[in-house]
Amino acid sequence: MRGGPSREFGASQGASRSSLMRRFDPGWCFVLSGLVLLAAALLVPAWRDVQTIRAQVGALEQQVAFARAREQTGRTLLEALRSDDPAVYQRLVAWQWNLVPLGDEPVIRERHDGGISSWVEARTPIPAPGQDAVGMTALERVLQGPFRPWALALGGLLLLLGIVVLPMGSPASRTAVA
Which pLDDT value is given to residue 144?
84
- Domain match, 142 and 77 both: no
Written as tens digits, the pLDDT of the chain (178 aa) is: 455 555 555 555 555 656 655 666 778 889 999 999 999 999 999 998 998 898 889 889 888 988 898 888 888 888 888 898 887 777 777 777 777 777 777 666 666 566 666 666 777 777 666 666 667 888 888 888 888 999 999 999 999 998 887 655 555 554 545 4
Same domain, 72 and 123: yes
Inside any domain, residue 157: yes
Q: What is the pLDDT of residue 152?
A: 92
Query: Do 138 and 20 contact (CB within 8 A), yes or no?
Result: no
Residue 109 lies in a domain: yes
15 lies in a domain? Answer: no
CB 170 within 8 A of CB 93: no
Within a domain: residue 99?
yes
Number of structural domains the chain divides into: 2
pLDDT value of residue 93: 75
User: With contact defined as beta carbons under 8 Å apart, do 84 and 73 qualify?
Assistant: no
- Give the pLDDT confidence score for residue 105 in this predicted structure: 73
Task: Confirm whether 105 is domain-assigned.
Answer: yes
| Residue 132 main-chain phi, psi, to 5 deg | -80, 165
- Is residue 12 one of the residues assigned to a domain? no
Question: 100 and 79 in one domain?
Answer: yes
Same structural domain, 125 and 140:
no
C-beta of residue 51 within 8 angstroms of C-beta of residue 131: no
Whether pTM exceeds 0.85: no
Regarding whether 148 and 113 lie in a shared domain, the answer is no
Range of the domain at 149: 136-171
DSSP string spanning 39-83? Answer: HHHHHHHHHHHHHHHHHHHHHHHHHHHHHHHHHHHHHHHHHHHHT
Residues 69 and 153 in one domain: no
